[in-house]
Amino acid sequence: MEAGFTRLTKARVESLRPGVKQRDIGDPERRGLVLRIEPTDSKIWLFRYKFAGKPHRLALGAYPGMSLALARAEAQAHRDLLDRGVDPRIARRARRNGRVVTLAPSPRAKSSSSSMGSWLGARA
């Protein structure tokens, strides 16, 4: 990732040009949000995070089809899932398969880990 914490703006994203190698530029306003610039001049929004101690990466969409504001909103939604103990990859798969992801703990749940276990059991 490029060093520095320059704020990403629409004008800055549009002005970024490709290099010989792909490069990732992080957004200091949204932890985990990264703009990947390919040598072919394609720009792709990624969300990087760790879950259960392992690094993961989700593609959010290509710029300009997905704007900076929308990418930030998606990254925040994924960060909220992580805060609740839900892996965003699993939630995305469930959503794509037509399953509903319930984030509120059930009244019978004694802890967040038991509600996570019941959620994971429901998706199988």
The total number of structural domains that make up the chain: 2
Please tell me whether residues 75 and 90 are part of one structural domain.
no
Please tell me whether residues 53 and 17 are part of one structural domain.
yes
**Global pTM value:** 0.72
Please tell me whether residues 65 and 114 are part of one structural domain.
no
Please tell me whether residues 79 and 95 are part of one structural domain.
no
Q: How far is the C-alpha of 64 from the C-alpha of 62, rounded, in Å?
A: 6
- 60-97: pLDDT as tens digits: 999 999 999 999 999 999 999 999 999 999 888 888 88
Please tell me whether residues 77 and 88 are part of one structural domain.
no
Please tell me whether residues 24 and 76 are part of one structural domain.
yes
* Comparison of pLDDT for 117 and 33, the residue scoring more: 33
pLDDT of residue 122: 53
* 3-class secondary-structure state, position 95: helix
Which DSSP helix (H) or strand (E) runs through 90?
Answer: helix 88-96
Strands of 11-119 (E only): list them. 23-26, 33-37, 43-51, 54-63
Q: Which residues does 76 contact at the CB level (< 8 Å), separation at least 6?
A: 30
Which of 83, 96, 105 has the alpha carbon at shortest distance from 123? 96
Q: How far is the C-alpha of 24 from the C-alpha of 57, rounded, in Å?
A: 12
